[in-house]
Amino acid sequence: MTFDPVGRPRWCRSIALVNERILILGGGTGGTLAANRLRKALPHRTSITVVDENDRHVYQPGLLFVPFGLAAPDEIVRPRALQLHHGIDYHQSAVDHVDLDADRVHLADGATLDYDVLVVATGCRLVPEETEGLVGPGWMRDVFTFYDLEGATALHRALTEFTGGRLVVNVVDLPIKCPVAPLEFCFLADWYFHERGMRDDVDIVYVTPLDGAFTKPTASRALAGMLEERHIELVAEFNTGEVVCDETGGGRLVGYDGTEVPFDLAVVIPMHSGATYVGRSPGLGDDLDFVTADEHTLQAAAKANVFALGDAASLPISKAGSVTHFEGEVLVENIIRFLRDEPLDASYDGHANCFIETGFHKAMLIDFNYDQEPVGGHFPTRVGVPLLEESRLNHLGKLMFQWFYWHALLPGRDIPGITSAMPTAGKHVEPTTPSPT
Amino acid sequence: MPTATITGVAVTLNDEGFFEDPNQWNEDMAVELARREGIDPLTDQHWKVIHFMRDQYFEKGTGPTVRVLGKTSGVTIKELYQLFPKGPAKMAAKVAGIPKPRGCI
């Protein structure tokens, strides 16, 4: 007798006796779009269940705008369950752990859920406590983050009350969600203080552990130039070891090499880790609780019937909504193939696409993948929006994206012209020199 | 691909000076590589990190980041920076003869 990938005799499947169970941990961008796409693709005898610990789905790109009063907190939050199509079960509970051997998830509310296919899509969590002194007396007084709703809201108040001085924006360590967002924050701060007529009273300093403004060389040079034009100081290769706050207000970042960066107001992007239950699930995650997965198929290294999606996965590409979106198409295809016992030949190429808000109603678009760094040109073809160049059109694109997010991306609709595979037609790509053989 | 001679042996390095093939490395080369980076002599703690980097590379296909080193090597991040002042992950990877850690993109 032969068996299917989840260990049941193959004849069960052929006469449709099997009701497969897909369990998705996380009801954010990845979990929601995967559930909705799978629901459309699979017969209703296949159950799909989404688990999340709360019912607040935050449109995370909106967090950037909250500190500047450009978005209200309640405008970027919707109930998670309402984003799921009919025929998808929603279970609200934290996850205690995954038992990979038993194909079973134990939830914090005491329930257990068995699965045939598990999708880990629980994103990242912020771990400010891993940096000495960060969650000290100055936290939410002189030191903020905009990477969660509470922080972004508190920072809005702090910016409103800021009367001038040194504003330091610090990325502690990578990986972080949306690596361009801290730069966008600097550009918007430049615009914000200009609008308030106090730009000359504020020194904006961008402090990063990278050796430049960004990870990829061409975009890094372009972004460094944009920082310089706006008189934003770039402090590179700074490895924050400690945040020290003074009792009288303000404080300083202290690097592991002893160098210091003083601030009056600090906006810190704390270190990120995967969800805590990943660490409690033997064999599932790496040392930072991210799930190791094949960078093309998204199948987890831990077990064949486990897949990882979005920020929860440990892949060599930015943690970003666009990445999750493009991965989602591949993931759904591969889950269907897995259930049919077919080879997983859908392949994710590392495609990422980010609008970078640059202030003064302009934005810049970058589009890249595992092999192709962001370059100039147009997207998605020779006729399209400009790449690596500021324009008002890109700013409109960024603003319109929120509508697409709720009404096209999450419901699992295809967006015309936007495909999982990175387009090359409009890009200014240098011809590669053939390597000698 | 550039080649270099370390302790009289020709090895293949990438443009940034990281080993392409960790099997070309030996402990004598580590002493020489460390000296070039300004570390002399290599202490037991240095060797602990170097061997940990290599074990991780052969197990996982990439060297660890500083943060992972601090969590798993038994050497604190502060001490790592004292041992390898120019950035523990990169510098230790160079001395340990493994490719540049992929780190984070």
Cβ–Cβ gap B104/A256 under 8 Å: no
Percent of chain A with pLDDT over 70: 94
Q: Determine the average pLDDT of the residues in A332-338.
A: 96
Q: Which residue of A has its CA nearest to B70?
A: A287
Distance in angstroms (rounded) separating the CA atoms of residues A22 and A385: 38
From first CA to last CA, the distance across chain B in angstroms is 24
Is B26 part of a structural domain of the chain? Answer: yes
Write down the pLDDT at residue B90: 87
The answer to the question of residue B22 being in a domain is yes
**CB distance A218 to A232 below 8 Å:** no
Closest CA–CA distance from residue A129 to any residue of chain B (Å): 14
Q: Are strands A352-359 and A362-368 parallel, antiparallel or unpaired?
A: antiparallel
pLDDT given at position A257: 87
Each residue's pLDDT tens digit, B8-67: 899 999 888 899 999 999 999 999 999 999 999 999 999 999 999 999 999 888 888 888
Query: Model confidence over B76-90: pLDDT tens digits?
Result: 998 999 999 888 888
- If you average pLDDT over residues A293-297, what whole number do you get? 96
Same fold: A10-123+275-339 with A128-271: yes
Whole-model pTM: value is: 0.90
The CATH number covering residue B7 comes to 1.10.10.370
Rounded Cα distance between A211 and B104, Å, is: 13
Distances (CA, A) of A408 to A137, A428, B62: 43, 29, 37
Before B41, cis peptide (omega within 30)? Answer: yes
Exposure letters A112-146 (e unless 16+ CB within 10 A, then b)? ebebbbbbbbbbbbbbbebbebbbbebbeebbbbb
Tell me the pLDDT band of A304, cut-offs 50, 70 and 90: very high
How many residues can be counted in chain B?
105
| pLDDT over threshold 60, residue A229 | yes
pLDDT given at position A270: 98
pLDDT score at A2: 65
Q: Can you tell me the mean pLDDT for A126-137?
A: 96
* Cβ contact A239–B87 (<8 Å): yes
Cβ contact (<8 Å) for B105 and A256? Answer: no
Minimal Cα–Cα distance from B70 to chain A, Å? 11
What are the boundaries of each domain within chain A?
A: 10-123+275-339, 128-271, 354-437
Domain membership flag for residue B101: no
Among the CATH numbers 3.10.129.10, 3.50.50.60, 3.90.1660.10, 1.25.40.420, which is that of A10-123+275-339? 3.50.50.60
Q: Does B60 fall in a domain?
A: yes
Question: In this predicted structure, what is the pLDDT of residue B32?
Answer: 95
Q: Which CATH superfamily is domain A128-271 in?
A: FAD/NAD(P)-binding domain (3.50.50.60)
How many helices and strands (H and E) does chain B possess? Answer: 5, 2
Any domain includes B102: no
Cα A260 to Cα A255: distance, rounded to the nearest angstrom: 6
Instruction: Say if residues A265 and A158 touch (Cβ distance below 8 Å).
Output: yes
More confident position, B95 or A9? B95
pLDDT digits (tens, 9 = 90+) for A3-61: 666 666 665 554 455 689 999 999 999 999 999 999 999 999 999 999 999 999 999 99
Interchain pair B78, A256: CB under 8 A = yes
A381 pLDDT tier (thresholds 50, 70, 90): confident
Question: Mean pLDDT across chain A, nearest whole number?
Answer: 92
Interchain contact, B85 vs A237, CB within 8 Å:
no
Number of Cβ pairs closer than 8 Å across A and B?
37
Q: Do B81 and A257 touch (CB under 8 A)?
A: yes
Q: How many residues does chain A have?
A: 437
Q: Nearest by CB to A241, which of B64, B78, B102?
A: B78
Closest residue, chain B, to A217 (C-alpha): B105
The more confidently predicted of residues A437 and B91 is: B91
* Domains: count for chain B: 1
Q: Is residue A433 predicted with pLDDT exceeding 70?
A: no
Q: Residue B26: which domain range?
A: 3-95
Q: List, for residues A367-380, the tens digit of each pLDDT value.
A: 988 888 888 888 88
CA distance B8 to chain A (A): 27
> Does A338 score more than 90 pLDDT?
yes
Task: Give per-residue pLDDT as tens, A170-221.
Answer: 999 999 999 999 999 999 999 999 999 999 999 999 999 988 998 788 889 9
Most B CBs within 10 Å: which of A215, A287, A369, A433, as the mutation test of the B interface? A287
d(CA A309, CA A324): 6
pLDDT score at A434? 45
The pLDDT assigned to A435 comes to: 42
B104 part of a folded domain: no
To the query of whether residue B104 is one of the catalytic residues in this protein, the response is yes
- Taking an 8 Å Cβ-Cβ cutoff, which residues of chain A contact chain B? 173-175, 179, 215, 237, 239, 241, 256-257, 271, 286-288, 316-318
CB contact under 8 A, A174 and B103: yes
What pLDDT sits at residue A24? 98
What is the model's pLDDT at position A437?
A: 36
Which residue in A266, A270, A268, A286 sits closest to A278, CA to CA?
A: A286
ipTM of the complex: 0.80
